[in-house]
Amino acid sequence: MTLDDHAEELASDLGVDKEEVKADLANLVEYSVPVEEAKASLRRKYGESTTSGEPTGKEIAEIATSDSAVTVTGRVLTVGKRSIRYQGDDLVIFEGEVADESGTISYTAWEDFDLSPGDSIEAVGAGVREWEGKPELNLGSETGVSFVDTIDVPYEVGGDTELAELAPGDRGVALDVRVVEVETKTIDGRDGETEILSGVLADGSGRLPFTDWDPHSEIETDASIRIENAYVREFRGVPSVNVSEFSTVTPLDHAVEGGEGAPTMSIREAVTSGGMFDVEVVGSLLAVRDGSGLIQRCPECGRVVQRGQCRAHGDVDAEDDLRVKAIVDDGTASVTAVLGTDLTAEVYGGDIDDAREAAREAMDQEVVADSIRESVVGRTFRVRGTLSIDDYGANLDATEFGPSEDDPVARAHGLLDGGVGETGDAAAAGRVGE
Ligand SMILES: [Zn+2]
């Protein structure tokens, strides 16, 4: 079809002047708008009723990011309410998931359609945009939302989930959790200084950090609570639970158990999850990387410095520290385990003063890293900590580090009890290889 044919068709559908439509259409196409999208936009402009040329009805699984507008009939699974700043204004939006028999899709509602979890709706003229690589429905002023008879869908209604299931981007989430730790922080918010809460939540599935942007008094250390209408964002490489002014927090009449131990996973599984707040892996220590042993840090920013030069602060009076960066591999993948001052001192068998003394005697601080290499390379370790992914690969910031029961050296020397940096609990929980 030529532009003229398209204009002819539109003009007769809409009952308007063909030349006027043609000029509009030519204008849009000139700006690289695909012709079908341009026609849809003109149908809206000329106020066509939805009886003809109505957006295509689609099954949810068929919706693609290339669709401009669709009609969807489905069941609302979750509804999250959130305030955002949009073009300088505070705007309340609603987000969640809607499902039909074929699948689920996220939506953002820019107006209050009075949606509740469990509602079955028909959304005529829902916009489609790409969000985190997937299609998402946009319900706005041009969308007609009506309530229809209940649709059965093979998905659970309501946002009830557990911490291990959460991924960045989840909205309208409901959780029964225990507050492991919480502290009040003052931040520079968009409306000046404001207090927030931050800490760690636990349930039977694991632990995750959280932020409460509108402090709820029910959130206190050791409280077992139900949080409704939370959303999930990525923070320092791991999912973080966000509680807002629209979330409700209710004390539970029972204690939520769990969250003491970390799940043990293959390194590949942990890495492909995109980041884990608290995880345990077991693998062979292949190498101790450069920048381990006795190192020097900038007193201002903590960065490791070379020959007294900080990348950010130039010539500084650097401070000594101990660190290990070790490559641990379990056959599925590898990760760089990072041991801080205390864990490194235990592995080395001495503190910063001892390391300094050894370096002075040898006139070479590499002797500290070499000594650590000798005692750990080739052995099997259990490492627990926070796994995050950056441009350089996967890092496991260790909170616990000890020989695995699989480790032949530890077995031979009966070192398993009171191994490096592990607590009795962790040792009891580390039944790997049984
Ligand atoms: Zn610095």
Strand intervals (E) in 132-256 = 134-139, 144-147, 173-189, 192-203, 206-212, 224-235, 238-243, 248-251
Distance from residue 236's CA to the centre of ligand 1 (Å): 20
Domain ranges of the chain: 1-54, 55-157, 163-251, 267-429
For residue range 89-125, list pLDDT tens digits in order.
Answer: 888 999 999 999 999 999 999 999 999 999 999 999 9
Token couple for 113: 């359609």
CATH number of the domain located at residue range(s) 267-429 in this protein: 2.40.50.140
Distance from residue 306's CA to the centre of ligand 1 (Å): 11
Does position 422 have pLDDT exceeding 50, yes or no?
no
**Residues 289, 328: contact at Cβ < 8 Å?**
no
Distance from residue 312's CA to the centre of ligand 1 (Å): 5
Distance from residue 391's CA to the centre of ligand 1 (Å): 21
Distance from residue 304's CA to the centre of ligand 1 (Å): 8
Distance from residue 392's CA to the centre of ligand 1 (Å): 21
Does position 419 have pLDDT exceeding 70, yes or no?
no
Distance from residue 307's CA to the centre of ligand 1 (Å): 13
> For residue 130, what is the enclosing H or E element?
strand 120-131
For residue range 39-88, list pLDDT tens digits in order.
Answer: 877 877 776 544 444 567 899 999 998 888 899 999 999 999 988 887 78
Distance from residue 396's CA to the centre of ligand 1 (Å): 23
Distance from residue 315's CA to the centre of ligand 1 (Å): 9
Distance from residue 323's CA to the centre of ligand 1 (Å): 17
CATH number of the domain located at residue range(s) 163-251 in this protein: 2.40.50.140
Q: What's 55-157's CATH class?
A: mainly beta
What is the band of 368 on the pLDDT scale with cuts at 50, 70, 90? very high
What is the band of 414 on the pLDDT scale with cuts at 50, 70, 90? low
For residue range 244-300, list pLDDT tens digits in order.
Answer: 999 999 999 999 998 788 889 999 999 988 788 999 999 999 999 999 999 999 999
400 C-beta neighbours (distance < 10 Å), count: 20
Distance from residue 318's CA to the centre of ligand 1 (Å): 9
Distance from residue 116's CA to the centre of ligand 1 (Å): 51
Distance from residue 296's CA to the centre of ligand 1 (Å): 11
Token couple for 365: 């601080």
246 C-beta neighbours (distance < 10 Å), count: 16
Within 177-265, residue ranges assigned H as helices are none
- Whole-number Cα distances in Å, 165 to 13, 121, 226, 281, 350: 49, 27, 16, 19, 41
